[in-house]
Amino acid sequence: MAYYNFKFMSMLAAGLLLLAHAVATDNFLIADNSTTVKRGITLSPAMNGINFPDPSVIRIGNEWWAFSTMSHYNGKRVHVPMAHTGDFSTWTSFGEQDALPNLPSWVDPDAPAVWAPDVVHLAPGRFIMYFSAALKTSPQTHCLGIASASTVTGPYTPIGTAPWACPTAQGGAIDPAGYYDPSDNTRWVVYKIDGNSIGHGGSCGNTVQPVVSTPIMLQQVSVDNGFTKIGLPRVLIVNDPADGPYVEAPSLTRMPDGTYVLYYSSNCYVTPLYDVSYATSKNIRGPYKKYGGLIQTGTYGLTAPGGLNMAINGNHSVFHANWNGGRAMFTALISGQGSQLRVWVKSS
């Protein structure tokens, strides 16, 4: 399996960390985007490019499971589709099998629009899923829910009869992702305030002034159950003019040197400007410094890549990009130190 290095920010330090399971140096192509595009290399999506948007990934032992936004298989609505791999290369879709077959009572049953689920392993036999879904009393608004299961594939059972987080006055909330910090045995959830849902028009509903804020939030939760809130949420980053209508799809990880990396997407997802960006901090609570696009349109033939999700405190990540009218899942391995990152992707 060959992986190619296609983007790095700043100048790479001599001591930049390699992947834990590093392969030979001659298997890597180190290049910037312009050089890469000229080489004509195109990435291959997982599962032959089936629609699998907003993917998240979890590693259990030496296997990985991925979950995605609601889709349809053979005409059946699947709230949370799943996929599996034993080698992080060949993925198998679970098809019509639904990780979240039953929705909580607060979700609109006719058009639930379950988006961007994320699964965390709390302890042996204990898993929690974070997800967003349309509010029954206000279907244009998404709120965050939680569900639990005894196995990674579920089925997951909703916890409680009310949303876990539902800031309706600010536009609702989407894109939750759990994170465990081994440095101090704490758990956290990052998510997006969906301000563009109450925007004033333009690209993705939020480029006409006044642009509504879409902050990425950080909420500490119980290390035991993954959902009892500890304190109030705090803002990590907000959408600046360069971000277009919003920032979204957050995912946290911690590098071996103690640097926290917040991956996120910026610009409108239906345009080629959509990307994977990142910001770093020495403290999980911030402040975070943005470094801009890491994976962008044109990178190895990708269009509108975004929604990158990291396996907690690992190198393995998944993201989506436009493919045959849908959004297919792609994989990448990421390593780095401080603000300097390297991304390896599987060649076609």
> What is the CB neighbour count within 10 angstroms for residue 6?
26
The three-state DSSP-derived secondary structure of 55-95 is CEEEEECCEEEEECCCEEECCEEECCCEEEECCCCCCEECC
Evaluate the CA torsion angle 168, 171, 176, 181 in order and state its sign. negative
Alpha-carbon gap, residue 295 to 320, rounded angstroms: 11
Alpha carbon of residue 165 to chain centroid = 18
Residue 315 DSSP symbol: S
Q: Which of 98, 175, 243, 248 is catalytic?
A: 248
Amino acid at 7: K
CB of 122 closer than 8 Å to CB of 225: yes
Q: Is 224 a catalytic residue?
A: no
CB of 348 closer than 8 Å to CB of 39: no
CB of 174 closer than 8 Å to CB of 115: yes
Residue 236 DSSP symbol: E
- For residue 70, what are the CA distances in angstroms to 113, 127, 158, 196? 6, 20, 16, 21
Alpha-carbon gap, residue 7 to 334, rounded angstroms: 10
Alpha-carbon gap, residue 164 to 131, rounded angstroms: 10
Q: Is 54 a catalytic residue?
A: yes
**Main-chain dihedrals φ then ψ at residue 196, nearest 5 degrees:** -65, -15
CB of 190 closer than 8 Å to CB of 179: yes
Q: Which of 26, 54, 184, 257 is catalytic?
A: 54
Q: In angstroms, what is the C-alpha Rg of the chain?
A: 19
- Catalytic amino acids? 54, 248
